[in-house]
Every structure is written in structure tokens, then in C-alpha cells.
Amino acid sequence: MWRHLTAVLTILLYLLLGARQEKDPAQRPATSKVKNVVLISVDGLGGTGHGQGEFTTPHGLALDSNGNLDVVDTQNHRIQKFAIDRRVIEDKESQKLDQYWIGYTEFRTNLKGGRHSNQATMRACIIKADGTERRILAEELAKDANTWTQFVDWSPDGKLAILYRGSNTRENAALEEKERSFRFRDRTNDCFLFDMASGKATNISAVERVSNYNGNLFFWPGNPKKLGFDALIDGNSHPFSMDRDGRNKRDLTKDSKEFSYGFHVSPDGKRIAYNKNYQIYVAAADGTDARHIKTGNSFNFQPQWSPDGAWLLFVSGEHYDCHPHVVRPNGEGLRKVGDRKGYKGVVEFFDVSDFHGGSSDLPAWSQDGKWIYFTAKHGDSVEVIRSTMEGNEQQLTKSNAGTSHYHPAVSPDGRWLVFGAKHDGVRNLYIMPSEGGEASVVTNLPAGSAAMWAHWRPMQER
């Protein structure tokens, strides 16, 4: 009897408090529906009996004008009233997945013709975190043959999406396959700002152009009128700053003949970090006063400022045997905070031969800076791990042999984690609570396709 009442009560509360807010219940995954139901809390319910909160043949449920639950307890000749814990309901309502948007890139992985044939199918997409309302952005940018788009990131207010448009020729691609190396002089890569409201795409790279190959476009922290990006100059990558309209591009490592990569700006906008020839450097915002952060390791890659600007997170060690480390911007406090356990840290994203070798799988900060998320080998799988700053690790996923997880990223409110996973040969995006738990699929692509490089949209006012 008690189990029957619990089921009826759960269904009633779901119908009264949840279902009427669903825009399209038919499109919502079953796992999402279950999450909305089971998280509702009612104070004071017991089992079968005659005491307070107990029932004998309950029949009839209703919500009164104050939102309390009335239950007709037939054999006990009474109506019992219960307070619904609306704090729990409101908290879980705020976690509904259909309020979160994720930008990512979708493409084919198994077409004949090598890397180029599959890369040319890449398209910048967005999707809600519950798996609904997927769409392609700026389709007109990839209307020409051998041209593609990739989703890169969002503006801080979420009103603009940052996209790449890349192109190559089949002749150049054939030479790249033969030489097993990129030939950038015949490739292009431009950065666009895409207005989500108007649908207008603006090529920022084309304004006062400095290179045919540009990337890593981002909004400068603390200065809405400034952008940062990387540009290939004479075969070497250089970090640049520029105005919001694309003008006044400034090389921050001017005259350098070395390859600089992993350009990242501190939260206050006053300092930059990057790796040059696989060594970490910290400099002033204008590129001056560059200082080498010594680690004693030959390979150091992609420094990322912590949310409070007090630390840098990067991978360090040897190429294909590197692990998450943190260090103070002044070079103090260097320590290893995670171990990849034999994982090379590279995601192969094509099912055909790829001379480039894949995509770097990098660690990520939590929004409060207390946790570091990364991937590591456990048995025959690559799993999602989170670690404290002291290096205390927690394994968040446990998968079948052969499964590979990649690119974890925490939602703006810190509640959710999105990551990629290759299950049974298919690469899709998944989400789970940031502290671990059940994972739900976001994209549901067939074999021969992939979803990669997920980016949470900053939270919008509702």
C-alpha cells in the first residue's frame, strides 16, 4: 500500500509541478523525465499504520491554496496535510537541462580520402543539454566545397558565438597526406563572431589581416572592447591582441622566431600566459616582461589561469607522457595534481588515417577553482577524473573496456559536466552532475559521425 501511494504521489507532483513547464515532452530523453520526478521531496510521509504520516487505504490527493498536499486517509477517517519542500523543487527546477546550451562541432569520421574528406564535413552546432533543438550555425560560411566551420567558444554574455571557417584544396590535402604534415601556406582559417539573435557572421580576421591562418579567438577578460587570438607568422604561431572590431592587431611576441601556443589571459586582463617551444611563459598584457616558468620538464603545454588568477594549470612531463600540474604565476608552488596513468592525452577523432595524430585532451578548472577535471587511463578505458589542488583524485566514470572519454568542461554554474565519449566506435557528447553520477547522452549521432569540443553557453537571464 505504501509503495502504491509513493508512486501515485510522485506522479501527481510531477504533473502538477513539472510537466506543465515542459515545452516538448516528446523530445526529452527518458532519463531527464526521471530526474525531474524523483527529486521532489515531501516532509512527514511514513508507511502503513494509524500514526501521523501513516495511512490505511489512502484515496485522493490534492494541493491546497498554500501549496500543501492533502491526502484522504480513508480507513483512518481523516485527511492528512503535508508540506512540500519547495526549496528542493525550486533548486531542481533551476537545474533543468533545457535551460543550458552547448556549442560544439559535428562531422563525419569514416569517409574515404583521408583527413581532408572528413574535416571538410565539420559544422559548428549548438544543442540544448537535454539533447533537443540541435541546429547548425552560419551554414552559409561552409557553402563552398572544401570549406568547413568549427565551434570555438562564446562571448562572456552568450550573445555571440565564436566560429572558425577553414578551407583547403584537394591538391594541397593530397600533398599533406603524402608529406604527413600540414602545408599552411595553402590553407586558410579565419575567426568569426556570429550574432545569435540576428544570424550575422563577421570575419574579424579579415580586418587589417595579418595572416591567412588564425585561431584561438577569445574576448579579453576585463575589457569588452578587446579580443585576443593566435596568428601564424612565417610558419610560427604568435599571440595577438586587437580591438573588438578587428582593428589595431598587435603581435605580443613580435620578432620571435619561435612557436608560441596556448595563449591565455588572466581573469583581471593584466597578464598573459603561453607556451613557447613547450616552455611556459608569463608576461604583461602587452607582451613585455616575459618570464620563463621553469618546471624541469621538456614538455609543457597550454597554461590556463585559475578563476581567481592565483594559479596556472597545464600539462607537464614528456610528450605523450605528461600530467596535470599547477604553479603560481611567479613560478612558485609547482606540483603535480593528477596522473594520466599511461594515457597519451590525445583524442583520435577520425576513423581514417590522420597524420596530425588527433586533438589534445587538456585538463579544466571547476568554476570555483577547487577542482581540476581531466582524463586518465583506468584498465582498458580512458575515464573522467577530478582532483583537488592537493592531488586527491576521484574517478567519475566507470565504463566498459575500450571506452574513451575526452574534453571535460564544467557548466557556468558549476552543476554539470559535459564531456565526449567514444562508445562502441561512436563519439558523442554526454553530461553528468559535476560531482559524478549518472551520465546522459546529449548528441545521439550514428556510427561514422562525431561530436567534439563542447563549450557551455554563459547563463542567460530567464
> What is the reported pLDDT for 189?
97
pLDDT in tens, 405-420: 999 999 999 999 999 9
- Summarised one tens digit per residue, pLDDT across range 52-102 is 667 777 777 777 776 677 778 777 777 777 666 544 444 555 568 989 999
The domains of the chain are located at 2-93
What's the confidence (pLDDT) of residue 47? 65
Please, which residues bridge with residue 194 across strands?
A: 161, 201
Mode of pairing for the β-strands spanning 416-423 and 335-336: unpaired
Query: Residue 120 is which amino acid?
Result: A
Model confidence band, residue 461 (pLDDT cutoffs 50, 70, 90): low
Per-residue pLDDT tens digits for 106-148: 999 999 989 999 999 999 999 999 999 999 999 999 999 999 9
Closest CA to 119 of 51, 57, 64, 188: 188
3 SS3 class: helix
pLDDT digits (tens, 9 = 90+) for 133-186: 999 999 999 999 999 999 999 999 999 999 999 999 999 999 999 999 999 989
Q: Is the pLDDT score of 35 beyond 60?
A: no
Query: Which distant-in-sequence residues (6+ apart) come within 8 Å of 341 by Cβ?
Result: 376, 377, 378
Residue 358 CA: distances (Å) to CA of 332, 346, 361, 451: 32, 6, 9, 14
